Structure 1
């Protein structure tokens, strides 16, 4: 045999003796959190279990990602009274006495709207004066 054919024969003999890989990966994977010295659950059948271990003091606490309440974009630190006033202003055009053609009795609030506008302008003028 020549050298190239000998190398090919050795390579083919080595490849034929390599065992086959596992046919299918496990069908289920479970991720769980255990606390303190608790054992990880035992896998059932063809299952992979991944355990994350937390200290015992974290067992009955709210998870870290939920502990801090994110501030709202608009009015996160506003009082409830100002939030309610904002919601009322946003929906005012659909209610009676709204001075609009939308909603029931919307045409009845034009005088109240003028008075409300006058009070707002007066309040703004007081804030702007030195």
Structure 2
């Protein structure tokens, strides 16, 4: 009876914590709001100073015990399949076996722990907030890049207009200057190389 009460209390606390948003600051310097929503619930909008990331779970998960609390490592909860698999490794010893007998048994334990961790990670139904945050950041940077490209195009357009105005201004005579008063430019090919002495 006490065990059922403790499990019910733990699930109520976990549901209460999951419903409230978790605000944190990630390594990028942005404030991040991680929210778990259920079914067709609306996700809060991101603001300029905070990235809001929503993980949507099925409506049936709203009032259930959270996934991470449904598992237990208690020996009483071990299935008969796992017990039978444990019996298969009774005579397994030597290199790459997870046993204290024989040389290299510790290598097998490391390999077994790594394989078990990857299997748990692959079959986990936990929400991967890091991936959602990275996607939101890429979306923000895409809009920043588009705005920067538009600003750069406008600056280049203004620079080209200014250069064209200067080119036109260089071709016009200065005020008070006559075109006829300007000396003629002598062709350098018309000047003799050895002028006559005299």
Task: Indicate whether the TM-score tops 0.5.
Answer: no
TM-score, normalisation: structure 2: 0.23
TM-score, normalisation: structure 1: 0.33
Between structure 1 and structure 2, the one with the greater Rg is 2
